[in-house]
Amino acid sequence: MRLVSFGARGSERPGLLLDDRVLDLRACDPSLPDSLRGILATQRLRDVERLLRRGDCSAALLPLAGTRLGAPLPDASKIVCIGLNYADHATEQKRPLPTAPLLFAKATTALSGSGDPIVLPPGEKVDLEAELAFVIGRTAKQVRAEEAAGFIAGYMCFNDVSGREAQFSDRQWFRGKSYDTFAPCGPCLVTTDEVPDPHALGIASRVNGRLMQQSRTDQLVFRIPQLLEYITRSMTLLPGDIVATGTPAGVGVFRDPPVFLQDGDQVTVTIDSIGTLSNPVRS
């Protein structure tokens, strides 16, 4: 299934993406929670599957054209990101590979959807980072790697947009990673049954059609089960929490000359089996 949150910012409703239409889940079944996070937290995905098989919700279908898709989990409690998790990205920074996952956070207020603008803060040097993200499906604490699959609801494209001036001047990453609009994700949450191996996916980013990053998720230094085990040793992950697994080489700041996002640019992140996240850039 391809799960979405659609509608105006702040009042998104849970839906299913069906080709060029969106199924309004609560219009089809008012007993469902009013958010995708709520559906995950109450373990109602099977009820959503039954709705899909039932096939009698045509009145709850909306055209995708003209429908805003927000971040699939606009009310996530946490965004956990992984630094230096592709060997080539560490190499382009002339840094050694980490011996354990390098965790940092983004503010959840940075979340935005496919089609929403990335807004450039005055004076910032803004960069893109294509990433595969996974979303937690049930409360996860002290999870062993071999159990990880049972805690993951699905996968989505993620752009870890970064303000390099703040990131490097602060000597830590939270502010530079957390400007409003700096966490575009989506366009949908693809459930695990549609992604048999998340470590066998091509990943790429483009700016105005120019290829910036291209790699495969089999190049991850720490794979998803290892990440989930490591993170949940120290914190509890809740349904709807987002983990962004890291970015490959090709980001703008380490190019010669550097390439930063400009007003009017169009940025895409594409991942095999998941789709394309696309965002305009605005001053």
Residues 141 and 16 reside in one and the same domain: no
Question: 112 and 70 in contact (C-beta within 8 Å)?
Answer: yes
Note whether residue 68 is domain-resident.
Answer: no
143 in a structural domain: yes
Instruction: Please indicate, yes or no, whether residues 31 and 138 belong to a single structural domain of this protein.
Output: no
Assigned token pair, 247: 């970015």
Cβ neighbours of residue 50 closer than 8 Å, sequence gap 6 or more: none
- Give the residue from 39, 63, 87 where a domain finishes: 63
Model pLDDT, residue 243 = 98
Looking at the fold, whether 215 and 98 belong to one and the same domain comes out as yes
Provide the pLDDT for residue 121.
Answer: 98
- d(Cα 153, Cα 45) in Å, to the nearest integer? 9
Query: Which pLDDT value is given to residue 55?
Result: 77
Domain end among 63, 89, 106: 63
DSSP 264: T
3-state secondary structure 179-246: CCCCEEEEEEEEEHHHCCCCCCCEEEEEECCEEEEEEEHHHECCCHHHHHHHHHHHCCECCCCEEECC
Pairing type for strands 61-63 and 79-83 reads unpaired
Segments in the chain below pLDDT 70 = none
Q: Please indicate, yes or no, whether residues 34 and 157 belong to a single structural domain of this protein.
A: no
**Same domain, residue pair 237 and 105:** yes
What is the distance between the alpha carbons of residues 94 and 97, in angstroms, rounded to a whole number? 10
Distance CA 185, CA 135 (A): 11
Q: What distance lies between CA 139 and its chain's CA centroid?
A: 19
**Same domain for 102 and 135?**
yes
CATH number for the domain spanning 138: value is 3.90.850.10
What is the spatial distance between Cα 57 and Cα 110, in angstroms, rounded to a whole number? 33
Same domain, 124 and 13: no
If DSSP codes are grouped into helix, strand and coil, which group holds residue 119? strand
Residue 74 lies in a domain: no
Statement to judge: residues 156 and 38 lie in one domain: no
Which pLDDT score is estimated for 95? 85
- Confidence at residue 269, expressed as pLDDT on a 0 to 100 scale: 98
Indicate whether 159 and 259 sit together in one domain: yes
Give the burial string for 252-267 (b: 16+ CB within 10 Å, else e). Answer: bbbeeeebbbeeebeb
Q: Do the domain assignments include residue 105?
A: yes
CA separation for the pair 279, 34 (Å, rounded):
26
User: Domain ends where: 17, 37, 63?
Assistant: 63
pLDDT for res 31: 96
pLDDT at 94: 83
Residues 148 and 188 in one domain: yes
Asked if residue 207 is part of any domain, the answer here is yes
| CA angle (274 as vertex; 151, 127 as ends), nearest 5 | 100
In a domain, 202, yes or no: yes
CA distances to 47, 145, 245 from 83, in Å = 36, 19, 8
In terms of domains, do 22 and 101 share one? no
One domain, residues 194 and 144: yes
How many independent structural domains does the chain possess?
2
| Sign (positive or negative) of CA dihedral 126, 128, 129, 131 | positive
C-alpha 281/C-alpha 179 separation (Å) is: 14
Q: Which domain holds residue 257?
A: 79-282
Q: Is residue 41 part of a domain?
A: yes
Residue that is written with structure tokens 């604490």 in the block: 141
With respect to residue 71, please indicate whether it lies within any of the assigned structural domains.
no
- Return the number of other C-beta atoms located less than 10 Å from residue 233's C-beta: 10
**Torsion-angle region of 102 (φ positive above 0: left; ψ -120 to 50: alpha; else: beta):** beta
**Count of helices and strands (H, E) across the chain:** 7, 18
